[in-house]
Amino acid sequence: MNELAQVTMNGLVEGSIYAILALGFALSFGVLRKVNFAHGATCVVGGFTGYFLIVNLSLPVWIAIIGVLCAGALLGFAVEKVAFKPFRQSPPLFAIVSSLAVAMIIENVLAAVFGEQTRSLTPGIARRLVVPFFGVTLTTVQLLIISVALLVAGLMYLVVARTDLGRQAIAVADDAEAAMTWGIDGPKIVSAAFMLSSSVAAVAGCLVSFDLGIDSHMGTGMLFRAFTANVIFGVGSLPGALLGGLLLGITENFVAAFVSSQYKSACTFVVLIIVLLVKPHGILNLQNRRFS
C-alpha cells in the first residue's frame, strides 16, 4: 500500500461528501445571497430518511434514494418558506437566525425520534476493492461516494447552464428585481433552487450513513465544511464548490497524515481564516461569476 496514494484517496472520499454539500450550498446562496444554516441539518435528515426507508421499511435502495431526494426537496421547500421568505426584505442577520433556529429544531426532533445512537446503513466491514494503481484500498461505498459527487456536479452544471430554469436562476442571482421585470417568477426560482440544493444535501447525508453512520448531531460539522469549501474558491460558484470540497478533504487528510492527527479538524478553521483574511472573494475570485 502506497501511503501517499492512500491518504489522497481517503481525502478524495471525504472531500467528495464536502463537495456534494458545498454544491447544494452554492446553489441556495447563489440565488438568495443568504447563508442557509439549515443545510447541515438537511444533510442529517437525508441520512435518517435513508436509514428509515431501508432498515425500518426494508425498501430497495433505489426507491430509498428517490425517497431521500423527495424528503430533501420537501424540507428545502419548507425551510425557504419558513426561514427565508418572511425575511426577504430584512437584513441578512434575520435569515441567519431563523435558519439556525430551524437547524436546531430539526436536530432536536431527530434526536427525540431516532434517539442519540449512531445509525449505520451498512454495519460491519464493507467490501474492499484494491485499486490496481499503487495498491490503494477503497470500499464499494466509497467508490459510490466519489461517483455521486461527480454526477451531482455534472447534473447541476447541466441544469444551470442548459435549462431555462438554470438561466432564470442565473438572472435572479444577478439581479432579482431586473429578472422579475422580464417576467421571471423570482420566488418560484428561489423555491426551486432551495429544493434542489436541499435534495442534494440529503443525498450527501444518505451516503454518509452508508459509509460512516449518521447521528443527529453531525449537521453543524457538515455545514461548516460546506461553507469552508465554498469560501476557498469564491462563495456561490459551482465548479468552485466541487474543487473546494475535494481540496478541503485532501488537505484535512494530508495534515492528519503528515503533520499531526491533532490538527485535522483545526486545519479547516485555519484554511477558512486564511482565505477570508487574504482572499475574501476566494482564491480564484469565482464569486462574481455566479454559478459558472
Contact residues: another protein, CB under 8 A = 1, 3, 6-7, 10-11, 14, 108, 111, 115-118, 120, 123-126, 128, 137, 139, 208, 212-213, 215, 217-218, 221, 253, 256-257, 260-262, 264-265
Written as one letter, the residue type at 171 is: A
The residue among 13 and 71 lying less far from another protein, judged by its C-beta, is 13
The residue among 10 and 168 lying less far from another protein, judged by its C-beta, is 10
Q: Rounded to whole angstroms, how far apart are CA atoms 5 and 22? A: 24
The residue among 6 and 98 lying less far from another protein, judged by its C-beta, is 6
DSSP classification of residue 291: T
CA neighbours closer than 13 Å in the CB half-sphere of residue 137: 5
The residue among 37 and 114 lying less far from another protein, judged by its C-beta, is 114
- Closest approach, Cβ 43 to another protein, in A, equals 12
The residue among 153 and 212 lying less far from another protein, judged by its C-beta, is 212
- Closest approach, Cβ 241 to another protein, in A, equals 20
- Closest approach, Cβ 265 to another protein, in A, equals 5
- Closest approach, Cβ 17 to another protein, in A, equals 9
Other C-beta atoms closer than 10 Å to the C-beta of 189 total 23
> Which cell numbers in the block locate residue 251?
488537505
Nearest CA to 37 among 277, 255, 224? 224
> Which cell numbers in the block locate residue 50?
435513508
- Closest approach, Cβ 208 to another protein, in A, equals 7
The residue among 137 and 285 lying less far from another protein, judged by its C-beta, is 137
CB 205 within 8 A of CB 45: yes
| Burial readout 44-76 (b: 16 or more C-beta within 10 A, e: otherwise) | bbbbbbbbbbbeeeebeeeebbebbbebbbebb
CB 30 within 8 A of CB 188: no
- Closest approach, Cβ 175 to another protein, in A, equals 41
Per DSSP (E only), the strands in the chain are 128-131, 136-139
The residue among 191 and 253 lying less far from another protein, judged by its C-beta, is 253
- Closest approach, Cβ 73 to another protein, in A, equals 25
Dump the DSSP string for 46-74. HHHHHHIIIIIS---HHHHHHHHHHHHHH
